Amino acid sequence: MTSPIRTERHDDILVIISDNPPVNALGAAVRTGLEGAIKQGVADASIAAMVIRCDGRTFFAGADITEFGKPPVEPLLPTLVDMIEASSKPVVAAIHGTAFGGGCEVAIGCHYRIAVPSAKLGTPEVKLGLLPGAGGTQRLPRLAGVALALELTAKGDPISAKKALDAGLIDRLAGEDSLEADAIAFANEVKTKRPIPRASEREVAADADAVASFKKDNARRFRGFEAPAANIACVEKATSSSFADGIAFERQEFMRLMMGVQSAAQRHIFFAERQASKIDDVPADIPLRPIARVGVIGAGTMGGGISMNFLSAGIPVTIVEMQAEALDRGTGTMRRNYEATAAKGRMKPEQVEAAMAALKPTLDFADLAECDLIIEAVYENMDVKKEIFTKLDGIAKPGAILASNTSYLDIDEIAAVTARPQDVVGMHFFSPANVMKLLEVVRGEKTAGDVLATVMALAKKIRKVAVVAGVTYGFIGNRMLMPRQVEATKLLLEGATPEQIDRVHVAFGMPMGPFQMADLAGVDIGWHRDPTRIENIRDALAAENRWGQKTKAGFYDYDEKRTPSNSARVAEIIDDFRKREGVTPREITEDEIVARTLYTMVNEGALILEEGKAQRASDIDVVWIYGYGWPVYRGGPMFWAQSEGLAKVVAGLEQYGFPVARSLKDAASSGGRLK
């Protein structure tokens, strides 16, 4: 096999080049090649300095994650980085794209760094439940100080080349198109300079204040995660120990995290997210339909949020409403949202103006004729949707994609009113649509492959994580939410309190429990609006105007600042209901709450797979992580069930009398996996 590493001589400078698409991951062949090339450079008396650079779209984007969990192959990355640093001749890293993880560690193992202005540096290992384990936690603070090292390692967000320059992480910027030449010139400048600067030989002072405020500021973000604390501990170690001791500690912590379930879960999600974009029976190279302008029907909360996604990505939007007032209100809200983002410094004022200028508000439905994709975002009513799609069929240009943002309704029934069901697809955005990452792309029976592929590609462009779902009530996410809601409400009747159930869910890692979520979304959602018809606890609450946060009362009471407190009135309502139903409340255990509100979701997920409504179990995990805040360190419901033990999940379901999905039972008894 040919090596991904080659060398080129430029007089006495040896340029070492990696070509390992797609992201120059530091797999075994790359490491072996680099080791050989460095040895060659050191041994060759006619070489004075070396440059390491990469072909393709990026500098090394990290260790090769696909090697994790397999037997290690020499040379290991930490050894390689040490070897580069120990070189008796200066080594310059020439960086473009993303120098991430092990790639960043290779760069800071080099003696000098030069980067193009568009490059980014970062150590995102924490997002995989890990830490930079090739000396990163020890070299970063020595080069850039404790505060930035904490930001980089424990949060995992990248920084720009400019910021890296200001922080001393890189030495200079190259021209955007002249990286190699500039790096060779740099190497010529430093080739005789001695001593050679080595990060490991520097010292860094402890900064207890920086550590304390960093922990305090990020306590919420880190809740439940193991890796941030390990990253912080390693950075602190760099300030209190020798480099060798720090490295030993880093190694030990890295291995501990690597063996743990959280990292396994987070690595699973990394690949699951990328896998989700692939459609099993549609060729990856199918020609896509061009989308130059998007139409959105409805300027309400959903329609506005959906439009913002496209405008932010530079795609013009035509937004249609029935009434001028609703149109003005909708566009006004969009502008305010953008301005709020700009006020936080996350957008420039001119970007706000550019986005709003690309929006064409109109009351004339016929204006949609110019759009390549039209998304209907009106309220959930089949008749209304059918009427809109009938109208659209008469107006839209041939080949335009017609999408519905329905969260429950049958896409096939909607498509059937048109003469072009192959062009109809579901695009289920999650509220707030300009923020939430998930997009369920609903594939109708007749949806064409290129329509599906176009929408999946577009999703990436607007920075969504898209998952293909089949036509089924509630698609993947909301269908799985249903058994959870039903069981949570039944548990109240049987003796649990809303606080108890929510506490179990929050301790599990969810951002909120089912009743906190009901209060946020509105207890009155889906309510029949007849206060005399009280069939369940929700009806009783709704009848008393306890509609949730918006009426300052729901399953909880709320003060002016929307701070919740337990409600004596809700306890009474629940108690009345128990009496009415002749139920004597009993003690409900945490295990029962888990089995009835979480195992039931897994069971529903297994049914969805059996029915072919999701392509793969990992897609379901992606839906729950990005659409509902399932804790990423538990890897989504299907991964979690696997790590809980499928036999335990099946036993829990059977104990409480649920019919268990066949595939779940089979996988549990054969020791297999849900696929």
Q: How far apart are CA 150 and CA 53, in angstroms?
A: 27
Q: Counting contacts by CB under 6 A, is residue 135 touching ligand 3H9?
A: no
DSSP state of 660: P
Least distance in angstroms from the C-beta of 641 to ligand 3H9: 24
Q: Counting contacts by CB under 6 A, is residue 456 touching ligand 3H9?
A: no
Q: How far apart are CA 367 and CA 319, in angstroms?
A: 9
Give the dihedral sign, CA 155/156/160/166.
positive
Q: How far apart are CA 123 and CA 193, in angstroms?
A: 29
Which residue do the tokens 């390693």 mark? 234
Q: Are 320 and 338 in contact (CB under 8 A)?
A: no
Q: How far apart are CA 530 and CA 550, in angstroms?
A: 19
List 8, 67, 105, 581, catalytic entry: 105
Least distance in angstroms from the C-beta of 555 to ligand 3H9: 40
Q: Counting contacts by CB under 6 A, is residue 330 touching ligand 3H9?
A: no
- Which of 607, 643, 605 has the alpha carbon at shortest distance from 621? 605
Q: Counting contacts by CB under 6 A, is residue 487 touching ligand 3H9?
A: no
Q: Are 219 and 155 in contact (CB under 8 A)?
A: no
Cβ proximity to ligand 3H9: between 126 and 148 the closer is: 126
125 is catalytic: yes
Among 134, 308, 409, 452, binds ligand 3H9 (CB under 6 A): 134
Select the span of 132-140, 162-170, 413-421, 542-550 touching ligand 3H9 (CB under 6 A): 132-140
Among 47, 48, 54, 64, binds ligand 3H9 (CB under 6 A): 64
DSSP state of 87: -
Half-sphere exposure of 664 (CA within 13 A, CB side): 31
> At a CB cut-off of 8 Å and minimum separation 6, what does 579 contact?
none
Residue span 18-57 as binding mask against ligand 3H9, x where in contact by CB under 6 A, dash where not: ----xx-x--------------------------------
Select the span of 63-71, 372-380, 413-421, 545-553 touching ligand 3H9 (CB under 6 A): 63-71
List 125, 487, 499, 604, catalytic entry: 125
CA 39 to centroid of chain Cα atoms: 40
Give the dihedral sign, CA 501/502/507/508.
positive
Least distance in angstroms from the C-beta of 78 to ligand 3H9: 6
Select the span of 59-67, 329-337, 356-364, 618-626 touching ligand 3H9 (CB under 6 A): 59-67
Among 4, 41, 90, 124, binds ligand 3H9 (CB under 6 A): 124
Peptide bond between residue 75 and the one before it cis (omega within 30 degrees of 0)? yes
Select the span of 64-72, 309-317, 376-384, 615-623 touching ligand 3H9 (CB under 6 A): 64-72
Q: Counting contacts by CB under 6 A, is residue 323 touching ligand 3H9?
A: no
Q: Counting contacts by CB under 6 A, is residue 133 touching ligand 3H9?
A: yes
Q: How far apart are CA 390 and CA 392, in angstroms?
A: 5
Which residue do the tokens 């998007």 mark? 294
Cβ proximity to ligand 3H9: between 105 and 440 the closer is: 105
Least distance in angstroms from the C-beta of 232 to ligand 3H9: 16
387 is catalytic: no
Q: Helices 77-86 and 28-43 sit at what angle, rounded to 10 degrees?
A: 20
Q: Counting contacts by CB under 6 A, is residue 98 touching ligand 3H9?
A: yes
Q: How many residues in the shown chain lie near ligand 3H9 by CB under 6 A?
A: 26
Which residue do the tokens 């991904």 mark? 4
Give me the active site residues, please.
105, 125
Interaction site with ligand 3H9 (CB under 6 A): 22-23, 25, 58, 61-66, 77-78, 98, 100-102, 105, 124-125, 128, 130, 132-134, 136, 274
